[in-house]
Structure 1
Amino acid sequence: MLAAFRNLSKSALGTVVAVLFLLAILASFALADLSNVRSGTMGGGGGEALVEVGSEEVSERELSDRMRRALQDAQREDPTATYASIAGQFGALLESLVDEKALLSFAQDHGFFLSKRLVDGQIASLPQTRGLDGKFNDQAYAAFLQQQQMTDAQLRNMLRVALMQRLIVAPAAVEARVPIGVARSYADMLLEQREGQMALVPAEMFRAGLNPSDGDLQSFYAQNRQRYVIPEQRVLKIARLGPEAVAGVQPTDAEIAAYYNANRATYGGLETRVISQAVVQDKAAADGIAARARGGAAFAAAAAPAGFAAADVTLGAQNREQFGALAGETVANAAFSAKSGAIVGPVRSDLGWHVIKIEEVRAASGRSLAAARGEIATLLAANKRKEALTDLLTQVEDQIADGASFAEAAAAAKLQVVTTPGIFSNGTARGDGDFRLPTELAPALQAGFAMAVDDDPEVITLPNDAGYALVGVDRVIEAAPAPLAQIREKVRDDWIKRKALDRARAVASEIAAKVARGMSMDEARASAGVALPPIESVTARRLQITQANADAVTALRMMFSLSEGKSRLVADPQNRGFVIVKTNKITPGNALNNPGLISQTQSAFQQTASNELGEQFLAALKADQGVERDADAIAAARQRIIGSGQ
């Protein structure tokens, strides 16, 4: 655990300074932004008052709701998380509620009132409360409240707190300035070096011989039921409305033939003709051109007396559609009815009298219907399946709108229904480690956990053109402690850990008491009568605290909080044992030899001083309003919410 103290590494001072001040100087600003406020419900009180803050109260119901939301957040990352997993947040969440109540009480005392219209505007600005037209929508708002599991009053109170923070706290904390003299003092502190010793008493060493009875396990389980709460599980019914539901839809032979004929230019190809043409306004002139052409003259020569050059009469290859657009349907019909080499005309059109020579007939060169059939069938099948899927979707939605149940709607549409096992909100199943709901059904999973058991089924759009899914809730398995019989081994291991930790605490406390009375660490360790790990000698600068690993940082911070020659017992944050920490020598730092560190400290301090001012302002609000805590009620609430086990 303490091996990392031997080789504490160095890093860029700027980063160290910034992180150290964040960790060692500044507490988290409870009302820093709306997202932090959202971690709990700000609704009215209810239940026994745990804390009185001016004219406001923090009730057990509010704290319980705040803890429930924190648990839900934790379970999004780890579905097996329980109240025991977030026990460390109890104090911080309670304090955040105290801060909020102090702010509201201060605002009331000093005439800071927010109009309903202002809060309405904040609600309307939330994207989740808008309809498809971008405007506030009652149905969207109701769905948002249901998804967040809060009431209108709770949301409004939450927004009031956020607005009060913005209007009252923020102005007191902006534009903080840190003098160089202050920065130098903290830079000196960062360079301060300490030498000390640390003795580890691991709980693992005291497990031997611990064998709980049935009574021990039952008693421990009863006292710590909240540690073994299984999060809510749901059994969902899902029916896919995807391409597979309409896979049997195929085009008929008649539809394929009709498509081929309608798109003959694409598939069958078209006959083209190389055409020469002269158009004149006088029929006699047209008869002359035709007579000369039929007499054997080249068409260009036949048309020359009428004033045409060779380029004027040469049209090149034309299909029927192209030539019809140029000369009109009557002329085109005549031209495409003649044989190769024929002289056609004169033929009258709106343009005048046409004389035409068919220079060459080029037969169509496209694919036959048989050759193009497969391609056309694939195209038509895709289009028909899209239409069929849309029709199927409309049918299902109409069934639901008419009051049909999930089973009735699925049966009417002949959909295949899948019933999941009991699953958590992340799609995993407690009873089947291999089960995980497919990723593409994530929208259906989210919808299923937002619905109540008696809600109508919903049709959800799936991503990546995967179609749709009909979703319903079959049943809800409420969050509850797992039966002792199912988790007996875990409870047994937890009991052993607790007793081993108690033994380790007793030994560590005895060593700490002897060291505090002046006995050396080595002598005190030896007198314990247990083969404990060797004592570690530690030398480090304060700025290296942020370099320590998670196992050692608590003990290292303690060494930098003790006076020279003093010692203290420190518990491992993860309940793995205890450390006796002693500070033997303190060497003050001198930042005058490192002006760059002073500048970096000033910069880092100015970036975070605003948060410190905000915290100090909140502390002043609490002092102004008065805070009275009912320690017994808080302890009882903690027991009811979390349990005594940690």
Structure 2
Amino acid sequence: MLASFRRLSKSAVGTSLMVIVLLMILAGFAMQDIRSVFSGGAGLSKGTLVKVGDEELTERDLSNAMRRALNQARQENPEASYATLANQFDPILGSLIDERALLAFADDHGFALSKRLIDKEIAELPQNRGLNGKFSETAYRTFLQQQQMTDADVRRLITAGLTQRLVLAPAAVDARIPVGVARNYAAMLLEGRQGQLVLVPTKAFRAGLNPSDGDIQSFYAQNRQRYTVGEQRVIRIAKIGPESVANVAPSDAEIAAYYKANQATYGGAETRVISQAVVQDKKQADAIAARARAGAAFAAAAAPFGLSAEDVSVGPQDRAQFAGLAGEAVANSAFTAANGAIVGPIRSDLGWHVIKIDEIRGATGKSLAQVRGEIAAQLATNKRKEALTELVTKVEDQIDGGASFAEAVGAAKLPVTTTPPINSGGASRKDPAYRLPAELAPVVKAGFAMMPDDDPEVVTLPNEAGFAVVAVDSVIEAAPAPLAEIKDQVREDWIHRKASDRARAIASQIAAKVAGGMAVDKAVAEAGVPLPPAQEISARRIQIAQANPDAVAPLRMLFSLTEGKSRLMADPKDRGFFIIKTNKITPGNAITNPLLIAQTQTEFQRTVPDELGQQLLAAMKADQGVKRDEKAIQAAKRRITGADQ
């Protein structure tokens, strides 16, 4: 809502500009579109575009910021180019000027950040930590290389972020909006307007447009940046996967040795059903053994000494189980005795043991022949993992030793795949059907992160698919696509441009007549071409935020005009031109809508802190002075984006 108020009331405060993001270094710089500008570039050194106080903004700084913005844009659109970012040039430049103003103001007023504090922020970046979780100089160097930044660049960004947090943020703490202010803006939201809308569609003027080859060639030459194709690369890939070690298998001796080493698992173990009486007095133990050997039931033999049948019943036990229960000496005696034998008394840490072997149950395991396949499969899996690790290590050692991609993969006898020219999304312009397997996505990412002359890299593939050796074969820089490849597209663009020019001319005639007092319907009828009739439109200001995308722009224009006024505007979706006229304005009244007043107040209190920070930043720029070299700025814009405006 606050953004609508700003636009519709023609406030000096504009929309927020480009967010400068460097991973976790900066949360953002929400900046306003106010520029403190001194004409010309007098006093600026060569290569300096803008000077704020003692802080300089060079062409290199701007190029680096545009490069980072392009890298970020390519995360969503692999075909993105500097031409795609042409409309972001001015916001990015503005945000860099704001950053310089903040640093210049802080330095001028003695607000200094210690090197130790900056070091601490760098050390806390997750990308700069080693395997032990602590700061790693190697990881930091890798981070700088990946981001194509210097240590000084990182320190400047961190300094700007901390200064923003410590200088700008306090100015906006605990901002409060009076109810009276919120009530007035809430009333604006309830304001109603009625008007008329005419659309002059571009498609109505396409008839008869048939460009010659010369027209197409000329249009292409004038709009080359429009057809720029993003950087493409040819990547060489050597996969190291399970198939690379498919011939690795265990020998018969290894299978037999594994079976023997795991006899308890595969061969089974003998179990015995045991009864046991444990007493502390040897005479009692002798009496129990004598009664049991004389033929008394074991439980009855132990009963005179306070042991019940449950106390003496141990049940089925293998040797290991019984050793854990009674001790090794007792278990040895019990498992060497015959079935039905009375064993003991035998002394242990627990007392005196008397044991009866009630039943001997033989081992129930499987023979080697029965489990051979199972053991062979398990050993093969383990051996292949080990062989795969050894192969990867061998390749990495060769690369570390200076071997080229061809030498390293050739020594390992790995098959090599060479992609066609692909973009960072893995797609090929020449072959739309081409797709790398999904498991090779990390390969594309690594291939575009590498410099063309970097050593090959070994990357890990997801879902245990193995590894891949990656190298850049060649790089095709971003450039306009050849006309022969996109002639149909250029032809269509030429037709659309000419039709749009015709539509604009007719729309301008209609707009001029309406502005001169002619009724909208009559102005449309006098256009001399069949057009959709004028539409009656009626809305409240609050509906702008709720309108569908096609209606937002006309509604905003309806609410920006005074009563009886009209204006021509281009359709944001490039479908034609609108003529909007505001016929009637009905003021809103929020007195009877306290809920809307409260919502408006809450909305303001969420956004006012940013506005206060922006105002403070504007004051800083006024305090420090901003000198711009407009010629150098426009030259940089043409060089980077190919755009003049």
**TM-score interval, smaller chain:** 0.7 to 0.9
Alignment partner of 1:67 is 2:55:
no
1:53 to 1:550, Cα distance in 2 relative to 1, 3 A: farther
Deviations 1:217-260 (A, max 9, x none): 33332332221221112222223333333333222222222222
Alignment partner of 1:620 is 2:608:
no
Alignment partner of 1:145 is 2:133:
no
Alignment partner of 1:370 is 2:358:
no
| Residue 97 of structure 1: how far off its partner (Å) | 2.5
Q: Which residues of 2 match residues 101-500 of structure 1 at below 5 A?
A: 101-274=100-273, 297=295, 317-321=316-320, 340=339, 360-500=359-499
Deviations 1:565-593 (A, max 9, x none): 11211122233322122111111111112
Query: Is contact 1:46–1:61 with CA below 8 Å preserved after alignment?
Result: no
| Residue 186 of structure 1: how far off its partner (Å) | 0.7
Query: Is contact 2:340–2:356 with CA below 8 Å preserved after alignment?
Result: yes
Deviations 1:26-81 (A, max 9, x none): 62166798244599xxxxx9965544544445444444443333333222212223
Letter in 1 for 2:15: A
| Residue 281 of structure 1: how far off its partner (Å) | 12
Tell me the SS of whatever aligns to 2:84. Answer: helix
Q: Which residues of 2 match residues 8-157 of structure 1 at below 5 A?
A: 17=1, 20=4, 27-28=15-16, 34-36=26-28, 48-157=47-156
Alignment partner of 1:606 is 2:605:
yes
Deviations 1:347-379 (A, max 9, x none): 999999999876544322222222222222222
Gaps in structure 2 of 5+ consecutive residues: 32-43
The range that moved more, 167-176 or 533-542, is: 167-176
Identical-residue share of aligned pairs (%): 65
Query: Is contact 1:223–1:643 with CA below 8 Å preserved after alignment?
Result: no
| Residue 608 of structure 1: how far off its partner (Å) | 0.8
Match of 1:7 in 2: none
Distance 1:304 1:637 in 2: 103
Deviations 1:71-92 (A, max 9, x none): 3322221222334433332332
Match of 1:540 in 2: 539
Query: Is contact 1:299–1:357 with CA below 8 Å preserved after alignment?
Result: no
Deviations 1:103-159 (A, max 9, x none): 233334333333333322222221111212222222111111122222222222222
Query: Is contact 2:81–2:478 with CA below 8 Å preserved after alignment?
Result: no
Query: Is contact 1:290–1:302 with CA below 8 Å preserved after alignment?
Result: no
Distance 1:113 1:288 in 2: 93
Query: Is contact 1:180–1:598 with CA below 8 Å preserved after alignment?
Result: yes
Match of 2:588 in 1: 589
Distance 1:546 1:355 in 2: 90
Tell me the SS of whatever aligns to 2:111. Answer: coil
1:627 to 1:522, Cα distance in 2 relative to 1, 3 A: farther
1:358 to 1:18, Cα distance in 2 relative to 1, 3 A: same
Letter in 2 for 1:177: R
Distance 2:569 2:484 in 1: 36
Tell me the SS of whatever aligns to 1:465. Answer: coil
Query: Is contact 1:555–1:579 with CA below 8 Å preserved after alignment?
Result: yes
Gaps in structure 1 of 5+ consecutive residues: 1-16, 40-44
Normalising by the residue count of structure 2, what TM-score does the alignment of the two structures yield? 0.84
1:613 to 1:187, Cα distance in 2 relative to 1, 3 A: same
Query: Is contact 1:29–1:611 with CA below 8 Å preserved after alignment?
Result: no
Tell me the SS of whatever aligns to 2:582. Answer: strand
| Residue 173 of structure 1: how far off its partner (Å) | 2.2
Distance 2:307 2:67 in 1: 93
Query: Is contact 1:193–1:539 with CA below 8 Å preserved after alignment?
Result: yes
1:49 to 1:499, Cα distance in 2 relative to 1, 3 A: farther
Distance 2:218 2:397 in 1: 56
Distance 1:499 1:645 in 2: 21
Letter in 2 for 1:28: S
The range that moved more, 521-530 or 556-565, is: 521-530
1:432 to 1:304, Cα distance in 2 relative to 1, 3 A: closer
Match of 2:36 in 1: none
Deviations 1:431-490 (A, max 9, x none): 222233333333332222211122222222333333333222222222122122222222
Distance 2:289 2:168 in 1: 100
Distance 2:46 2:617 in 1: 26
Distance 1:427 1:301 in 2: 79
Match of 2:552 in 1: 553
Tell me the SS of whatever aligns to 2:545. Answer: helix
| Residue 289 of structure 1: how far off its partner (Å) | 9.9
Distance 2:526 2:299 in 1: 130
Tell me the SS of whatever aligns to 1:582. Answer: strand
| Residue 18 of structure 1: how far off its partner (Å) | 6.4
The range that moved more, 190-199 or 614-623, is: 614-623
Letter in 1 for 2:16: S
| Residue 492 of structure 1: how far off its partner (Å) | 2.1
Distance 1:402 1:452 in 2: 19
| Residue 183 of structure 1: how far off its partner (Å) | 1.0
Distance 2:463 2:146 in 1: 24
Distance 2:405 2:471 in 1: 6
1:507 to 1:71, Cα distance in 2 relative to 1, 3 A: farther
Distance 2:328 2:487 in 1: 92
Match of 1:564 in 2: 563
Match of 2:41 in 1: none
| Residue 518 of structure 1: how far off its partner (Å) | 1.9
Match of 2:577 in 1: 578
Distance 1:338 1:576 in 2: 99
1:369 to 1:110, Cα distance in 2 relative to 1, 3 A: same
Match of 1:42 in 2: none
Match of 1:13 in 2: none
Distance 1:178 1:328 in 2: 81
Distance 1:186 1:230 in 2: 47
1:564 to 1:269, Cα distance in 2 relative to 1, 3 A: same
Distance 2:538 2:300 in 1: 113
Tell me the SS of whatever aligns to 1:533. Answer: coil
Distance 2:276 2:582 in 1: 111
1:307 to 1:575, Cα distance in 2 relative to 1, 3 A: closer
Query: Is contact 1:525–1:532 with CA below 8 Å preserved after alignment?
Result: yes
1:277 to 1:550, Cα distance in 2 relative to 1, 3 A: closer
State the number of aligned residues.
Answer: 624
Match of 1:5 in 2: none
Deviations 1:193-218 (A, max 9, x none): 11111221222222233333333333
| Residue 605 of structure 1: how far off its partner (Å) | 0.9
| Residue 310 of structure 1: how far off its partner (Å) | 9.3
The range that moved more, 478-487 or 97-106, is: 97-106
Query: Is contact 2:330–2:346 with CA below 8 Å preserved after alignment?
Result: yes
Alignment partner of 1:524 is 2:523:
yes
The range that moved more, 53-62 or 308-317, is: 308-317
The range that moved more, 401-410 or 358-367, is: 358-367
Distance 2:96 2:165 in 1: 17
